[in-house]
Amino acid sequence: MKKKQNKDINPYVVITGASAGIGESVALTLAAQKQGLILTARRLDRLKALKKKCLQAGAPDVHIFKLDIQNRIQIEKLSKELKKKKLKVKTLVNNAGLAKGVELLQNSNPDDFDSMVDTNVKGLLYMTRALLPEVIAQKGHIVNLGSVAGRLVYEGGVVYCATKFAVRAISDALRMDLKGTGVRVTNIEPGMVQTEFSVVRLGNQQKAKGVYEGMMPLSAQDVANTILWCLSQPPHVNISELVIYPTDQASVGQVVRGDKSIKNLVRQ
């Protein structure tokens, strides 16, 4: 027998880029907290599989939408669809983001500029603007996935760092715009996290594996746990920004490996 959908489950959490990595972990973590979910990503097959896992984990209701965060028309259609279904959105997790290439700017591909800016900056803005009236009505929470690259730059990261500096600026300015509405804005800024991030950036599985060789990076679950903690604070508490490094990474470009890695130190 087909499970009857509970139409009284409100409000929901919207997660962009939910088909893998941090987005997937956030979805499963919130599902275990009995949270209704609205999941978006480009890969519909993965979303279908994730929906099943979230329902099994305890989510009372899960909606999935194939969505390219770079496409403003698709985002506007999503907003209209949520209103049509009377799905109230209290929390938006702007997780979708990517990096492309590590070349010096003079050797880089301008197409990669568009991909990073359109996803990390414009997509985040489009999504936030589309859902903001509902989030304001619910006195909700916006969580942006920034990066330590939004605080410190590095060689070969001109455009990616610029987009994450933008996420930081957007988060801080949005918090000002929303003062008095009851809406909280949090910028999560992780260091090295082992997900598909490096595969997308480098376009090579073996090279991506080498990024984390000999050290212990953060996992997607580590970041998801951090986001859950931020969301779990009482309404008068706003964790405005949270920087989270793996112990093996002291700063951008400062990473220990081998015998000095925490995974080997704890064995001693």
pLDDT (tens digit per residue) in 63-115? 999 999 999 999 999 999 999 999 999 999 999 999 999 999 999 999 999 99
Q: Is the pLDDT of residue 61 over 70?
A: yes
- In three-state secondary structure terms, 140 is coil
Q: Which alpha helices (DSSP H) does 63-179 contain, by range?
A: 72-84, 110-116, 124-137, 158-177
| pLDDT tops 90 at residue 234 | yes
Q: 244 φ, ψ to 5°? A: -135, 110
Pairing mode of beta strands 12-15, 37-41: parallel
Dist. CA 92–CA 144, nearest whole Å: 8
Average pLDDT, the chain: 94
* Nearest partner of 152 among 211, 194, 192, judged by Cα: 192
Instruction: Annotate 101-110 with b (16+ C-beta within 10 A) or e (fewer).
Output: bbeeeeebee
Helices (H), the chain: 21-31, 44-57, 72-84, 110-116, 124-137, 158-177, 197-202, 205-211, 220-231, 262-265
Q: What is the pLDDT of residues 150-207, one digit of tens each?
A: 999 999 999 999 999 999 999 999 999 999 999 999 999 999 999 887 787 878 788 8
Give residue 209's pLDDT band: very low, low, confident or very high (50, 70, 90): confident
Average pLDDT score over residue span 122-148: 98
pLDDT tier, 208 (very low <50, low <70, confident <90, very high otherwise): confident
Does the pLDDT value for residue 131 go beyond 70? yes
Strand partners, 39: 15, 64
Q: Give the chain's largest Cα–Cα span.
A: 60
pLDDT of residue 264 exceeding 70: yes
Cα(251)–Cα(21) distance, rounded to whole angstroms?
Answer: 22
From residue 223, how far is each of 8, 51, 94, 137, 161 by CA, in Å? 30, 20, 13, 27, 19
- pLDDT tier at 2, thresholds 50, 70, 90: very low
Quote the pLDDT of residue 268: 54
Q: Is 245 an active-site residue? A: no
Q: Determine the average pLDDT of the residues in 243-254.
A: 95
How far apart CA 147 and CA 99 sit, in angstroms, is: 11
pLDDT at 4: 44
- Asked whether the whole model's pTM tops 0.85, one would answer yes
Q: Please, are residues 216 and 261 in contact by the beta-carbon 8 Å criterion?
A: yes
Task: Find the mean pLDDT for residues 105-129.
Answer: 97
One-letter amino acid for residue 57 of the chain? A
Q: Which of 77, 79, 132, 70 is nearest to 97 (CA)?
A: 70
Residues in CB range of 145: below 8 A, 6 or more apart: 22, 93, 94, 95, 97, 167, 188, 190
What does the pLDDT read at residue 180? 98
**84 half-sphere exposure, CB direction, 13 A CA radius:** 6
Per the residue annotation, which of 12, 126, 160, 212 is the catalytic one?
Answer: 160
Based on the number of CB atoms within 10 Å of its own CB, is 5 exposed (0-12), middle (13-18) or buried (19 or more)?
exposed
Query: Distances in Å between the alpha carbon of 170 and those of 58, 117, 228, 229?
Result: 33, 13, 21, 22
